[in-house]
Structure 1
């Protein structure tokens, strides 16, 4: 363990492990298998990088990291190379000659850590290569991809149990940021990790503020949010990610934001590879870029200063929501998770499950996961408590989510629920088919429009009985009825609504219903405590320190450009801020700055001291 701490300090520049990192490193370095569940930004990569380097020093060969994403490999290898680790990756971006050169280096024992895609790893040729070299460990990143019950199943991951069969003496560490109990069990089963020690860190990300708003012109709401919370005094925007469900919506949203003066870029799997790669690199290397993307973007992105993640469409599960929002605030500074959510989202997700080709068992699991997410959206209590409970962790009201900061009002909606359910029943009985929420609301509010009159629905006993409530209020009621499972989406009826068995006790008066009261969405108010200010690493700096900070950032930009890596690979903002405040005047002073490993001190130390001293 003492050697692991020395590696942590010498190579990565940190004085101590965080949380369970030390226990995990010690267990794996000693040759034990493990399953690690740790939130994004919790330092998962160190849990296999350090044991691998320690075991390599013992003559046990290279560490092999299985990763499903090109972006992750490139980021990790660039960062490791900067601190003096001989790291490489094998993926589809390399030419045949480049791949052959890396394989040759592996055979010659010239690589410390090799990142490889699961598809390449599982080829007979590559497995035979591994059998001819020394391997000190296998790290299986994004291990939830092995689970058919998870939110990002990838068939090629199932075959990874072969590592246990062909390399029984090589320790394996599987890592993921999100896995409920069912997914954990499948990871253990699929990867043959029955004897592995399981480490579960807290899923809490206290620096992230969770906010879910009623959808009412979502684009305008998004723009208000960005301008109020994530636009700095100089007019620049924080880095952020906006998730949309469809490729078309991604492109339209990016174009619209650009028209509003936001530096927005689109990203989805349907784009030409070169353009997609360019956009990803710009997001990672430039400041103030907002990426509008499908969930094809984000996994493996190590950018530490993403200040917000916004959802314009409902994700499929709590795991998906947690992982996507977890890409904000990896540096530990304040960040926002913002989502606009409405009845159409609920209907769309229900319909997607019903129309999928999955078997009934999978559909039930998907429905259960969606129900859990809807429960998070509709809760009137602390969102963080609800989120943590999903992963089996107890929490206390956080004071840093919308329901804690502005507790929503609730009301007894039993009578209105009975009106709505009765309207669904009577409209169906009168016409022989089902209707969507818009038509049902027109009936309840007594709207004598053409469609109502054509179908004779002005004669229904429920016509006009809900005139006291506005259309948005009724829409909120129907949304919550679908979320509560009292109404279901008829996938054959273009999103129309039908009664469920659970609705019968309510119709008969045997069950009361409490709902969140509808509140007209208000514009996000600009405040002095906006996230961009709370997350500013220069807060409280004197003018002299600020000038030092600006010079250090300019130096970092040039150095990163020269090395062809994102700026944060050279140094994180937190490290530069420490230097700017401390004004070190010797290499020994610099050595004690967090994030300043031996290789970086050796390579950059004199340059940094020159920048600091140029006053």
Structure 2
């Protein structure tokens, strides 16, 4: 594997770090001008060309600095925040040209297709373009607002010649470098070709550069600014928090099908995920196995890894983004180039090798802002597999040690009993109070389970913790008496009185069967908790590098000998069923007990209209699915991706407010739905909406179409007004009101 040692060496001068950090802080504080707000011409173009009513604060901060001050920018923008608009809007607004550099050809192709659907001219220069000379000519004639390039093309001889030529002949507005963390070897996804992009400053010295990435620590940000030679850059950063995410971690069992059913929904006679889903695995073999298993469960599923032919990978990718596949089971070779906003679940069946990688992988979920689940299943074998891959792939000792430090944070993440969202945000040096989010993650949900169901989990204290001290001492005693020479399952079998012949020598053991009152799951989970609390430790057996021994630590021995010491902590999700009081064991399906994981499919349709009845909510969900199906058919006809026709949010708004004319559809300011798209596709949606018109009460109509405050009319005229706003003609209103 290529040596990824940084050009600047392992150690940075602290004074340099502090100096750059101070400059960034000063820029953030002093550069914000309260009078620097978008003008009506900017907002009009935004709505007309991109279908949005307003810029997000950070978007305008970046765009305004480019348009008004021609300033370099380094921006860390969480996935789904709208970073593409920051480099697409300036040249579309001015009639100039933006050069967009990205390592992901599939993502560039999707963005170009999306722009063309909106009548914004864009092109790609790279190996995927088979008509290069024609494209060169059209670029020189200023026919494109956005030109997408690969870093390899920019660094090549022909690319360098063209960039120098364009700097003198084209009205260049901006150079945008997407996935800018690839510049830095301090990051998790270093690309050598990105390191050469600093030459752009010399080739095109007078054009502002925007470097954007979704994840970057302070050291990576500084490396980006230095390598790309950004001049007095404005630094901007969104929160790393994705409030629509639910985080959970589970231990793998010996039955993957059982693991997956924990996070699936049973509809009719089939198991389904709550929406489009990506399952990540560490090895190619595991992707094949899990894909076959999920297909047997009735899901429309396919594997994706680098060992498959590129044609098969491309077809699988396209089927998924076109809603023809429900699930992709993949290695991390899949995902960076995907542009699908409505992914509801990202599942890791095997842990990532760093928090940065993990957060970028889960960042592919919920980019439409709707609820999404980020679920991890892990075992200790995952960490051993990553250790093996490090030894095999990292020849450089310093780089190997860096990767070992990075995966240690992953180990802490999966083992923590604190808020997982807080853990991730703290890693990215961000403080955020998530105490008011009771479904923030599985650990936070455990507390809610107790506080809202104290009669069910009677053995938990007010903080949702359980006193494991008695059982912990029992397990430690067994381990101690067996000389710390076995794996966890052997200890558990002895505790539970297993009759396996290989355990015959323990049948007269004093503690044999002492723990038979608790389930195997209980003891396994308790063992994991005790490792987390440093009472036990795992080690590799000398006789077999793949065998794990469980041994007692010094802290564990002190705990065993001191009866006053306690193990008071949160039980795992798997333990909660064992803690229900007997009177609540046979709960019916109408129980108010929160489920182990929020259902994203249900959350999508929870009504914010208090007057909406359950039947009306069901009707809206049905209408939403009809509109989604229609969108798929339109996209197939247009040879584009469904979200390019209309976003999920726009479809949800249509299903809720049910416009009956194109004019109504336009005045509703539906998310991302421009006049161009409404004129192109609106009639197809109206056919569905008019066929499924719902008769709303006058009270609902009054809430749906609020009267402008300047209107001073009688109550009777008010009723006629909202009927007219709902799409009825004057003749229909007259007939209805007699």
* TM-score range normalised by the length of the shorter chain: 0.7 to 0.9
Per the alignment, residue 9 of structure 1 pairs with 47
Query: Does 269-278 or 593-602 show the bigger shift?
Result: 593-602
1:562 corresponds in structure 2 to 637
Query: What is the alpha-carbon distance in structure 1 between the residues aligned to residue 601 and residue 539 of structure 2?
Result: 40
Matches within 5 A, 1:417-432: none
* CA 1:446–1:527: 2 relative to 1, 3 Å: closer
Greater CA drift, 86-95 or 112-121: 86-95
* Structure 1 residues 27 and 301: CA distance shift in structure 2, 3 A: same
1:331 to 364, 368, 371: 368
Q: Secondary structure at 1:132's aligned position in 2?
A: helix
Which residue of the other structure, out of 317, 320, 338, is the alignment partner of 1:301? 338
CA RMSD of aligned residues (A): 4.0
**Residue 56 of structure 2 is aligned to residue 18 of structure 1:** yes
Aligned mate of 1:593, from 670, 685, 696: 670
CA distance in 2, matches of 1:598, 1:321: 38
Aligned to 1:40: 79
User: Which residue of structure 2 lines up, in the alignment, with residue 343 of structure 1?
Assistant: 380
- Note the residue ranges of structure 2 that are not aligned, 5 or more in a row: 1-37, 448-463, 578-592, 693-738
The 3 A distance-change label for structure 1 pair 556 and 538 is farther
Tell me the secondary structure at the aligned position of residue 206 of structure 1.
coil
1:58-137 mapped onto 2 (5 Å cutoff)? 61-95=96-130, 98-133=131-166, 134=170, 135-137=172-174
Cross-structure match for 1:430: none
Alignment CA distance shift 1:376-1:34 (3 Å): same
**In 1, are the aligned partners of 2:521 and 2:575 still within 8 Å (CA)?**
no
| Contact 1:228-1:525 at 8 Å conserved across structures | no
Cα offsets for 1:352-385 (capped at 9, x unmatched): 3355424333233222221222222112121111
TM-score by length of 1: 0.83
Q: Residue 488 of structure 2 contacts residue 549 of structure 2 at CA under 8 Å; is this kept in 1?
A: no
Q: Distance in 1 between matches of 2:598 and 2:493?
A: 42
Flag the 1:513–1:19 CA change in 2: closer, same or farther, 3 A.
farther
What's the CA shift for 1:99? 2.5
Larger Rg: 2
Question: 1:381 is paired with a residue of what secondary structure?
Answer: coil
Give 5+ residue unaligned stretches, structure 1: 428-434
Question: What is the match of residue 404 of structure 1?
Answer: 444
Q: Does 1:577 align with 2:652?
A: yes
**Distance in 1 between residues matched to 2:226 and 2:475, nearest whole Å:** 44
Deviation string for 1:86-108 (max 9, x for gaps)?
1111233332xx22222221122
Provide the rounded CA distance (Å) in 1 between the counterparts of 2:175 and 2:42.
Answer: 18
* Contact 2:539/2:549, CA 8 A, preserved across alignment: yes
Tell me how many residue pairs correspond in the alignment: 594
Mapped to 2, the partners of 1:313 and 1:528 lie a distance apart of 19
The Cα offsets for residues 489-509 of structure 1, whole Å up to 9 and x where unpaired, read as 669962466999x96677678
Alignment match, 1:255: 292
Paired residue for 2:727? Answer: none
User: 2 CA distance for matches of 1:123 and 1:257?
Assistant: 44
* Maintained 8 Å contact 2:650/2:672: yes
Give the structure 2 partner of residue 289 of structure 1.
326
Residues 232-290 of structure 1: CA deviation (Å, up to 9, x unaligned):
99986521111111111111111111111011111111111111111111101125611
Deviates more, 1:290-299 or 1:506-515: 506-515
Question: 2:545 is matched with which residue: 494, 509, 514?
Answer: 494
Q: Offset of 1:221 from its aligned partner?
A: 3.5
Q: Deviations over 1:517-570 (max 9, x none)?
A: 566468999799632122249996578867765664454333211221111111
Partner Cα distance (1:359, 1:440) in 2: 40
1:13 touches 1:593 (CA, 8 Å); kept in 2? yes
CA contact (8 A) 1:353 1:363 kept: yes
**Is 1:530 matched with 2:599?**
yes
In 2, Cα distance between equivalents of 1:386 and 1:543: 38
Q: Decide whether aligned partners of structure 1 residues 197 and 440 sit closer, same or farther in structure 2, where only a CA change above 3 A counts.
A: farther
- Indicate conservation of the 8 Å contact 1:424/1:497, yes or no: no
**Does structure 1 residue 266 correspond to structure 2 residue 303?**
yes
SS of 2:438's partner is coil
**1:232 and 1:532 in contact (8 A); partners too:** no
In 2: Cα distance, 1:497 partner to 1:425 partner? 15
CA 1:533/1:426 → structure 2, altered by over 3 Å: closer, same or farther? closer
Contact 1:263 1:288 in 2 (8 A): yes
Q: After superposition, give the CA deviation of every residue in 1:166-206 in whole Å (9 maximum; x if it has no partner).
A: 22222111111112233323323332336322111111111
- Structure 1, 315-324 or 487-496: larger mean CA deviation: 487-496
Asked whether the 8 Å contact 2:303–2:328 carries over to 1, the reply is yes
- CA distance change for structure 1 residues 417 and 306 in 2, over 3 Å: closer, same or farther? same
Match of 2:725 in 1: none
Task: Specify whether residues 487 and 124 from structure 1 end up closer, same or farther in structure 2 by C-alpha distance, changes over 3 A only.
Answer: farther
- Equivalent positions of 1:473-484 (< 5 A) are 476=525
Query: Distance between the aligned counterparts of 1:315 and 1:88, measured in 2?
Result: 34
Structure 1 residues 90 and 471: CA distance shift in structure 2, 3 A? same
Alignment correspondent of 1:432: none
Q: Is the 8 A contact 1:441 1:475 kept in 2?
A: yes
> Counterpart of 1:282 in 2: which secondary structure?
helix
CA drift at 1:228: 2.2
Q: Which deviates more from structure 2 when the two are superposed, residues 265-274 or residues 530-539?
A: 530-539
Task: Rate the CA distance shift 1:64–1:405 in 2: closer, same or farther, 3 A.
Answer: same
Counterpart among 394, 417, 422 of residue 431 in structure 2: 394
More displaced, 213-222 or 4-13?
213-222
